[in-house]
Structure 1
Amino acid sequence: MPRRYCQESPDAIASCELDDMVLLYHRPSGQTHMVISPVPEILATLDDGAALTAGEVHGELARLYDLGAAEAAEQLVEAHLTELTALGLVRIA
């Protein structure tokens, strides 16, 4: 069964855009993370509180952006979700 990912809570992360970079302040840990695309876009797909699989996140992003080869893009989304989980910005539902 594929893992489902979601954000901890809607107000757990504050973001600030700086040119091509986004600063994410994770309130529960007090840590700030510097990220670039596609991380902000991935987090935006999880913004409504839904628990989504990497494939569902990929599908949502594919509707908005040209992601190239589907399999490679989905693997990249899964890798980013795994990293975001390790940082505490996303959790497995």
Structure 2
Amino acid sequence: MLFFSIVFGIVLGTLAIIFGALGRGKARRGEANNGAAALAGIIVGSVACAASVAMIFVYVVTGVDEDGEDERDEPYGSTALVQGQVLAGGSVRGA
């Protein structure tokens, strides 16, 4: 689900920048009277693209998958029990 918000943020943000620039150009030439709305589209589109790129960077750096779990976790569960036994002075079988 998070994939769609990032991808749509980039795609729709880019479209907002493009259409905002087109609208701003028409407003300058006097063909339209929506210069402020076009500028708002450019600004909001830029923020959406920047936020999406930042989120991609965060997920790549932290290694968190869509379920919110760390991708670097052990495939067979937690090692907290083994660590607890070692700290308590118990023996660990098979290690």
Q: Is the pair's TM-score, using the shorter chain for normalization, greater than 0.5?
A: no
Bigger CA radius of gyration: 2
Ranked by relative contact order (alpha carbons within 8 Å, sequence separation 6 or more), the top structure is 1
**Bigger proportion of residues as helix:** 2
Structure holding more strand per residue? 1
